[in-house]
Amino acid sequence: PLIAGFADYLENYGIIYLLNDYPNFSENVMWATNLFSIVKSATTSIFFVLIIVLLFLFGIQRFRAIDSQVKNV
């Protein structure tokens, strides 16, 4: 989330810069802003997929622990 947050700030800064400099905007700033947007989206997606996988694995581990306790009773 820290990388996504940092990329979001840089993306916002780039958008503000482009809006203030309109119509004479820099193509380099445009590409950098787009890159920060992609980095933000990718890292956010990876983070949430990782959370879902970890919760799933934790759920399986918890289910197995409960199942083994029931069998031992």
3-state secondary structure at position 25? coil
Question: Residue 58: what residue type?
Answer: F
| Mean pLDDT over each residue of the chain, to the nearest integer | 91
The string of pLDDT tens digits covering residues 10-42 is 999 999 999 998 888 888 999 999 999 999 999
Return the pLDDT at 37. Answer: 97
How are the residues of the chain apportioned to helix, strand and coil, as percentages rounded to the nearest 5?
Answer: 90, 0, 10
* 71: confidence class by pLDDT, cuts 50, 70, 90: confident
Using the predicted structure, report yes or no on whether residue 6 has a pLDDT greater than 80. yes
Prediction pTM value? 0.75
